[in-house]
Amino acid sequence: MPVTLEQYEFYCLIRMEGHITLACAGELRKLLLDWLATGKSLELNLERAEDIDITAMQLLWTAAREAAREGVGIVARATGAVAATVRDSGFAQAPGFPVPE
């Protein structure tokens, strides 16, 4: 599965692998809602994602905006093409969603 959620005592981890596209948007949306319901901070790991499309980025941005409203933190990591896509599309400026360059 390209998107997974792991829940720990103090935080949650969403890991994305492979191609994060419209095909997995429903599952990503569900996991983001599950995470938000916990009230815990999130570690978002995109280091093994090969690419990400606009649908997935919009879901992440919306979840980050909601998390910022709730005072919940997000730490995101991405490398390579995904980091470049996020940065070049302007999503790196999403509230609470810092993806390094």
CATH number at residue 21: 3.30.750.24
Write down the pLDDT at residue 94: 66
Q: Roughly how many angstroms between the first and final C-alpha of the chain, as a whole number?
A: 26
CA 8 – CA 64 distance, rounded (Å): 19
Q: What's phi and psi for 8, nearest 5 deg?
A: -120, 175
Count of domains forming the chain: 1
For all residues of the chain together, what is the average pLDDT? 87
**Which domain, by its residues, includes 27?**
3-93
Distance CA 44, CA 78 (A): 9
Alpha-helical segments (H) within the chain: 25-38, 54-70, 80-88
CA distance linking residue 66 with residue 23, whole number of Å: 23
Give yes or no for residue 19 having a pLDDT over 60. yes
98: in domain: no
What is the model's pLDDT at position 97? 57
Domain annotation covers residue 100: no
Q: Sorting pLDDT into bands at 50, 70 and 90, what band is 91? A: confident
